[in-house]
Amino acid sequence: MRNLKKLVLGELHRLINYKILPISLVTAIIWIIIFLFLSEEEARNIAPLLIFVDVSMMSIILIGASHHFEKQEGTIKSMMMMPVSMGDILLAKVLSSMVLGLESAIVTSAALYFIHGVTFNYMVLLIFIIIAGVAHAAIAFILALNSKDFTSSLGLLMAYILPFQLPSMLFTFGIIEKEYEWLLMFSPSHAASSLITFAVSSDYDALKVLIGCLYLVFLSIVLFRYFVYSKFKSNAVRG
């Protein structure tokens, strides 16, 4: 636990050092400004999307970028020469990747409250962000571990977005009928987006919440256990 804390602090220190966290904060401030010009209903509709983008896409990009950068620098190999478990190293990276999502959720929630007086169950949102964040961190590692550099990692991200993200967007715009939403729940992105939307709108569909949570938790366990954990070390050694 002591080592995990140090690893997480190290990751956060680098997020600040590499200017990722400050830039993310500036972006969040831009959201606040946009909220000033939106009605309460518009703000409530757009807020889940902003949080979702930081929890999923930004997290995938952050993990991909830091993985390839650290591999190039050889620091992953150096970290493996420390008396810490690989599980701790991976967990620290997952936790730090969720900082962007949490930061976005805090800023968005604060903006909704102070500008429009909108409140919702923040604890539920936190739980959903953690579930969605871990699942997307697992996806991020799969993409990073199967690409040779950051550019090819972005290529794989596009390949992920097409079947998993695009239908969800088409559904949002009403192009895909509501009766097919059950199929879309197989998309980790749609499941995550639905959970965050439920939390912010305080309009829950209990069955979908249950299925979304169970699916994302199950997916996270399978991906980390059978794909990420086994490949992370050999990938670092090769670098």
Partner 1 sequence: MSNAFQVKDLRFKYKSSKEDTIKGVSFDVMEGEIFGLLGPSGAGKSTTQKILIKLLEDYSGEISYFGKDLKSIGKSFYEEVGVGFEMPVHFSKMTAMENMKFFSGFYKQTANVQELMEQVGLWEHRNVKVGDYSKGMKVRLNFVRAMLNNPKVLFLDEVTNGLDPKNARILKDIISDYRNRGGTVFLTTHLMNDVEQLCDRIAFCVNGKLYEISTPRDLKLKYGKREVKIEYKEEGATLDRIFPLEGIGLNEEFQNILRTKEIETIHSGETSMEDIFIKVTGGVL
Q: List contacts with partner 1 (CB under 8 A).
A: 3, 6, 10, 13-14, 17-18, 70, 73-75, 77-78, 80-85, 233, 237
Least separation in angstroms between CB 225 and partner 1: 18
**Tokens standing for residue 118:** 């909108």
Judged by CB, which is closer to partner 1: 46, or 80?
80
Judged by CB, which is closer to partner 1: 81, or 206?
81
Judged by CB, which is closer to partner 1: 61, or 157?
61
Least separation in angstroms between CB 104 and partner 1: 24
Least separation in angstroms between CB 10 and partner 1: 5
Least separation in angstroms between CB 231 and partner 1: 11
Judged by CB, which is closer to partner 1: 9, or 29?
9
Least separation in angstroms between CB 229 and partner 1: 13
Q: What is the Cα Rg of the chain in Å?
A: 18
Cα–Cα distances (Å) from 77 to 80, 106, 134, 232, in that order, read 5, 35, 23, 11
Least separation in angstroms between CB 234 and partner 1: 8
Judged by CB, which is closer to partner 1: 12, or 53?
12
In the numeric block, the tokens 């200017």 are attached to 19
Judged by CB, which is closer to partner 1: 30, or 81?
81
